[in-house]
Structure 1
Amino acid sequence: MKIVLITPQGPTSRTGNKVAAVRWARLLRGLGHRVRVASDYDGNPADLMVAVHAWRSARAIERFKAAWPDRPAVLQLSGTDIYHYIETDPVPTLRAMALADRLVALNALAWRVVPKRLRARLSVIYQSATPPAAARRPTPRATLVAVIGHLRDVKDPLRAARAARLLPAESRVCIEQVGRAYTPRWARRARAEMAANPRYVWRGDVPAAEVRRLLARCHAMVISSLSEGGANVVSEAAVAGVPILASRIDGNVGLLGADYPGYFPVGDTRALARLLRRLEDEPRFVRQLARAVARRAPLFRPAREAAAWRRLLTGLQ
């Protein structure tokens, strides 16, 4: 099939939506399809549209379905779609969802916010990650905890740094954060945190290879988001065998499972500090996290993601 893949413009080429779109384009080409990636629909014919982000891609979906009403559209629901825009600007979001022939969610609990009349169209396709070529080698110099993600409000990006401030003086926990500051205000806040907090360093936006190296040498990763559609960094950490400390939100629970032992309440700095202390002091807790991550890792295999897309597209033909 000839597929047009619509992904909205972002402030960096490493936004979650853009990274997912690039991976899906590669995956769909591997399944034998011709794929053109665009930020908007230009009217050129295609057998199928795959659109990322309902709210941002709503007009592109409308134009495609107006031009080719009998040709299918697949819509990937982002975190801001199902945990923000569906409430704050529902008309274009719900219109895009209603026009789409299939909906794709990235976590297993997303169905809870999809209108009942549309749930039959919904498939869950976990974002995959390639396992690292070499074994992890956590640094012996400290208990290194990674925070991976752009600095913006929804990520609650300084929660781990603030939690590290609450640890006792003898603690060897340090927080290393990578990701672009979406606003000058967030850059100022990260620099101020570095100046005041000797346990914290922010390295800014780094290439994907640097993210993989950070995962290889860290002892754990924190994802403290207020909401997520299904963060690919969770997949990357899981396949790398990295223990994860995660805010208890549907986007994380829908990836890691309800019984995962490493959750903390959203925004609860003290609860996260207690988990960081356990990470440092309780080898049994670390093993428990590692086993739980290992159980979830098969969900994020590239072959599984490819097979899910193959099934979805076969069902549209």
Structure 2
Amino acid sequence: MKILMASPEPPASDYGNGVTARRWAGMLRELGHDVLISLGYEGGGYDALVALHAGRSAECIRRFAAEHPGAPIVIGLTGTDLYPDFATSGVDPAVLELADRFVTLQSHGVQQLPPQLRPRARVITQSLPPVPAAEPRTDCFEVAFLAHVRPVKDPLLPAKAVRLLPADSRIALTHAGGARDEASQREVAAEAADNPRYTWLGALPRADALQVLARSRLLVLSSRHEGGANVVTEALAVGVPVISTHIPGSTGLLGDDYPGYFPVGDADALAAALYAAERNDGGVYDRMKERCGALRHLAEPGREKHAWAELWAELRAEQPSLTERVRRGQP
């Protein structure tokens, strides 16, 4: 099939949507499809559309549906689509109705869909090819924070938290991620200059950021919302335990009873969780590491590729009925 992969980020972007679009396109090519990644739909003949972000790709989805009646449409639902809900995110319900399948990155995302659309959803966990092992630093207890400087990531919360640590803590926070505007850049740079436990590396090539993760003792995720963070599955792939905000995007991957959560926006709680992990209080670090190890299979590329193969097999089987049906408002 000739597939258009529509992403709200440029194909070379290291932001989450760009990374996801490249990985999905690569897997679909391996499955024998011809895939073009584009910022939108500019016309042309395609057999199917995969659109990342129901909100930001809405016009692309509408145009494609109008010009390719019956061609399958798959919508990849992102965190800013799903949370706090579609209405608040500004997602047009009519656009959702145009989808033949939805892809969510973790199991809780399906529940955000209207009940009549949930049967169209498939959970496809993100993956990561093997990353070379890296020795942890011996001069500190390094914690990785891999996030671009955007409000939804609450990017200064981890830096605020490490300021609250007791003097005997050896925790050092390493932040890799770019700032999209000068004001954010100045704010983060000022924090790094004044906070001895916090190092901001700015935007790094993805391979270099993964090496920071691979050598770290922990990953911290401070996001207010996530559809299913790339970096969490990357941490699973490299065997690094995660401390995360208690959000559906993480509980849907790590489990509701995972021992490494803290409330959204709570620097004190994050500081306490980091210190407890460093000290392994009550064996909490061991339990996080054990759980993340048990979930490592979720990040295997073969598993993700197989899930995409199954999805396209379903769509091929349905194709005769797809080409005959009127899309508007019909499940």
Q: Shorter-chain TM-score: what band?
A: over 0.9
Partner amino acid, structure 1, of 2:313: T
Which residue in 1 is equivalent to 2:170?
172
Cα distance, 1:95 vs structure 2:
2.2
Q: Which residue of 2 aligns with 1:250?
A: 248
Q: Is the aligned partner of 1:298 residue 2:294?
A: no
Aligned to 2:18: 18
Quote the Cα distance in structure 2 between the aligned partners of 1:175 and 1:298: 27
Query: What is aligned with 1:36?
Result: 36
Q: Deviations over 1:11-37 (max 9, x none)?
A: 971110111001111100000111111
TM-score by length of 2: 0.92
* AA at the equivalent of 2:113: V
Question: Contact 2:41/2:60 (CA < 8 Å) preserved in 1?
Answer: yes
- Tell me the TM-score normalised to structure 1 length: 0.96
Could you tell me whether the CA contact under 8 Å between 1:57 and 1:96 is conserved in 2? no
C-alpha displacement of 1:226: 0.2
**Is the contact between residue 55 and residue 85 of structure 1 (CA under 8 Å) also seen in structure 2?**
no
- The alpha carbon displacement at 1:69 in A equals 1.1
Relative to 1, partners in 2 of residues 1:12 and 1:43: Cα closer, same or farther, differing over 3 Å?
closer
Alignment partners' CA distance in 1, 2:291 and 2:156? 25
Which of 260, 275, 278 is equivalent to 2:276? 278
Q: How far has the Cα of 1:183 moved from its partner? A: 2.3
Q: What is the alpha-carbon distance in structure 1 between the residues aligned to residue 293 and residue 9 of structure 2?
A: 34
List, as ranges, runs of 4+ consecutive aligned residues in structure 1 with deviation greater than 3 Å: 9-12
| Contact persistence 2:7–2:18 (CA under 8 A) | yes
Unaligned runs of 5+ in 1: none
Q: Structure 2: which amino acid aligns with 1:300?
A: A
Question: Does the aligned pair in 1 maintain the 2:246–2:262 contact within 8 Å?
Answer: yes
Which residue identity does 2:111 align to in structure 1?
A: R
1:9, distance to aligned residue in structure 2 (A): 3.2
- C-alpha contact 1:128 1:301 (8 A) present in aligned 2: yes
Match of 2:213? 215
1:121 matched to 2:120? The reply is yes
**3-state DSSP class of the match of 1:5?**
strand
SS in 1 for 2:107: coil
| Map of 2:223 onto structure 1 | 225
Say which SS state the counterpart of residue 176 (structure 1) adopts.
strand
Moved more, 277-286 or 200-209: 277-286
Determine the C-alpha separation between the residues in 2 that align with 1:216 and 1:311. Answer: 31
SS of 2:295's equivalent? helix
Render the CA deviation track for 1:101-142: whole Å, top value 9, x for unaligned. 1111111101221111211111111111123233x4211110
1:1-317 map, 5 Å = 1-9=1-9, 13-83=13-83, 86-88=86-88, 90=90, 92-134=91-133, 136-282=134-280, 284-317=283-316
Per the alignment, do residues 299 and 152 of structure 1 end up closer, same or farther by CA in structure 2, a change over 3 Å counting? same
| Equivalent position SS for 2:5 | strand
SS in 2 for 1:109: helix
**What SS class does the counterpart of residue 260 from structure 1 fall into?**
coil
The alpha-carbon deviation at position 280 of structure 1 amounts to 1.6
What letter corresponds to residue 290 of structure 2 in structure 1?
R
1:172 deviation in Å? 1.0
Q: Is the Cα–Cα contact under 8 Å of residues 9 and 15 in structure 2 kept in the other structure?
A: no
CA RMSD in angstroms comes to 1.6
Over 3 Å counting, the alpha-carbon distance change for 1:9 and 1:217 in structure 2 is: closer
Mean CA deviation greater in 17-26 or 58-67: 58-67
Q: Equivalents in 1 of 2:169, 2:40: separation in Å?
A: 50
Distance in 2, Cα, partners of 1:85 & 1:112: 10
> C-alpha displacement at 1:89, in angstroms?
5.2
CA distance in 2, matches of 1:25, 1:291: 32
Give, in angstroms, the shift of residue 162 of structure 1. 0.8
Would the aligned equivalents of 1:8 and 1:53 in 2 still touch at CA under 8 Å?
yes
The answer for unaligned runs of 5 or more in structure 2 is 317-331
User: Counterpart amino acid of 1:241?
Assistant: G
Contact 1:58 1:95 in 2 (8 A): no
Structure 1 residue 185: Cα displacement: 2.2
State the alpha-carbon separation in 1 of the partners of residues 26 and 92 from structure 2.
27
Partner of 2:319: none
CA deviation profile, 1:61-109 (whole Å, cap 9, x unmatched): 111111111111000001111115722353x532221101111111110
Q: Do the aligned partners of 2:10 and 2:38 also contact (CA within 8 Å) in 1?
A: no
Q: How far apart, in 2, do the equivalents of 1:254 and 1:165 lie?
A: 30
- In structure 2, what residue type is equivalent to 1:130? P
Matched to 2:149, the amino acid is L
Partners of 2:188 and 2:117 lie apart in 1 by 41
